[in-house]
Amino acid sequence: MIKIWKNTTLAIFLSLALLSPSIMVGTANGQTETANLDAQARQALDRFFAAVMSGESGNVDAVLAPEFQIQRANGSRYNAGSYPNSHLPVIAKMPSVERLRVTSGDDIIVTSYVIKVDETLDGAVVQAIAPRLTVFRKIGEDWQVVSHGNFAPIVR
C-alpha cells in the first residue's frame, strides 16, 4: 500500500514538474497579451480624446465607427452622423485614464475606466472625475469608437 502511494505521489510530482514550464509560458504569454491589449486600448482612447479635443468634426468623424452611439449622463445622445457636428466638449488637456479594465473578443475592445479631465460642455463644467465606458471595433488597421458612455454629470 505504501509502495502504491509513493508511486502515485511520484507520478503526480513528475507530471506537475513536466507541465510547469508550459503553465509558466502560458501565464507569460497571457500577461504579454493583456499588456498588449491594454496598450492598444490606451492608444485608442488617446486617439478618441485627441480627436474630440481638436474640435474639428473631420477629426472626430475619422475615429467613429458607422454604428457609433454616445450617451451622456444628462441623457443627450448622438450617433456617428450627428456627434461630429454637435457641440463637442472643450477639453483643456489630455485626460488621465485610471483603473482601466479591458476585455476583448475578435475585433472588439471594451474599456471601462475612471477619467480625470478638465472639461466643459456648452459652457458648463463637467465633473472632473467620473467613470466612462468606451467600445472599439477594429476597422482596417484602426480601432474605431463604436459606443461611448459618459457618466459625468454637469456641475451647476
pLDDT digits (tens, 9 = 90+) for 91-145: 999 999 999 999 999 899 999 999 999 999 989 999 999 999 999 999 999 999 9
Confidence of residue 32 (pLDDT cuts 50, 70, 90): low
Confidence of residue 30 (pLDDT cuts 50, 70, 90): low
- The alpha carbon dihedral of 57, 62, 64, 66 has a sign of positive
Give the mean pLDDT of 36-58: 97
Mean pLDDT across the stretch 58-66? Answer: 98
Q: 81 near 87, Cβ under 8 Å?
A: no
DSSP 8-state code for residue 156: -
- How confident is the model at residue 31, as a pLDDT? 62
Mean pLDDT of the chain: 85
Cα–Cα distance measured from residue 128 to residue 62, given in angstroms and rounded to the nearest whole number: 26
Model pLDDT, residue 47:
98
Q: Could you give the CA distance from residue 10 to residue 101 in angstroms, rounded to a whole number? A: 42
> Do 48 and 56 form a contact (C-beta atoms < 8 A)?
no
Does the domain at 2-155 match CATH 3.10.450.50? Answer given as: yes
